[in-house]
Structure 1
Amino acid sequence: MTLVPAPEIDVRFGAPEAVATPWAEVARTLREAELYWLTTVRRDGRPHVTPLIGVTGGAGQEVHFCTGLREQKARNLGHGRRVALTTGANAWNRGLDVVVEGVAVPVTGRAALREIAEAYETKYGDDWHFDVGDGVFGSGDDAAAVFRVEPVKVLAFAKDPHGQTRYRFPASA
């Protein structure tokens, strides 16, 4: 588990009365999100953005997601692991938007995969039951790689009042 760094409010991007968003609120937003948007980069440098579901781990700072081995995001992650993951409220004056910039790290250990599979089912119900295979969820054509996004920088965009909080984490390998 990585320690959460101190928040930094960026006064250039918010109301004068804005204060730093506490990590507990950022972690709750990540934990409770039903949907995330993942940005990966294609081999030619074009971005690829897709919605997906996920679950958190650690101190709420690591989001786990899975992708079929033949999907575009899996191919993109095969040549570059830097990602951006976003979630939040699609509203101007309420809620919190969170952007996690980091590195997608494969999760392959059976115990970790089992724990993540249970977290998916707890969060999303029986429709999202995953069997743990050999280093992946499932097997064969239905196999899905599992990744953990290790944060490098997290931005929290508060909306009432508007304010931008930054958390910087040590860079992943």
Structure 2
Amino acid sequence: MKNTEPVTTIDPRFSDPSAVATPWEETRRVLETAELFWVTTVRANGRPHATPLVAVWLEGAIHFSTGADEQKAVNLRENSHVLLSTGCNSWESGLDVVVEGDAVQTTDEATLKRLAEAWTTKWNGQWQFEVRDGCFYHEAGGSALVFSVTPTKILAFAKGNFGYTRHQF
């Protein structure tokens, strides 16, 4: 997982004349603290599939888990392209963030243990996973695949004083 700083630019075509680019630190803070993300994958027939989930930002990537038979996992077996978005439904304030990249299944035990700890910490113990056989396991008895998305591009949409920022990796 890379930890490089992106090239950050504002797109004046879609921004208020007085808007400035959202700093990477502010965008990253949204990724680190968001409680809910929407993941969009591509079905075999080319149609999009979107669903909410929890995720964690760690070591320059965003990570999420899913059951092996859930639609998003089925889609990712054929097409790794993914969007993860978060933000708020307010028009006058806030920051919406969209992460573009490819979802890669994470099976490395050391990485999974760091991710399990990140979930536990972020959610004050509400999400606890055991790591074994390259998956997360939870107390309800189910297993979950873990995917990591190292972003190729992150878009940040500032509201109020509207700004369209691109963080290119």
Percent identical: 52
CA distance in 2 between counterparts of 1:6 and 1:127 reads 35
Correspondence for 2:114: 115
Correspondence for 1:70: 69
- 1:1-150 equivalences in 2 (<5 Å): 1-58=2-59, 61-138=60-137, 142-150=142-150
CA distance in 2 between counterparts of 1:62 and 1:5 reads 13
CA distance in 2 between counterparts of 1:23 and 1:126 reads 28
Which ranges in structure 1 are unaligned for 5 or more consecutive residues?
Answer: none
CA distance in 1 between counterparts of 2:154 and 2:125 reads 31
CA distance in 2 between counterparts of 1:103 and 1:2 reads 16
- Residue 56 of structure 1 and its aligned partner are, at CA, apart by 0.7
With normalisation by structure 1, the TM-score equals: 0.92
After superposing on structure 2, the runs of 4+ consecutive aligned residues of structure 1 that deviate more than 2 Å are none
CA distance in 1 between counterparts of 2:126 and 2:166 reads 35
SS in 2 for 1:137: strand
SS in 1 for 2:97: strand
Taking only aligned residues, the RMSD between alpha carbons, in angstroms, comes to 1.3
Over residues 72-127 of structure 1, what are the superposed CA-to-partner deviations in whole Å (9 max), with x where a residue is unaligned? 00100111110000001211111100001111111111111011001111111333
- Residue 2 of structure 1 and its aligned partner are, at CA, apart by 3.5
Correspondence for 2:157: 157
SS in 2 for 1:126: coil
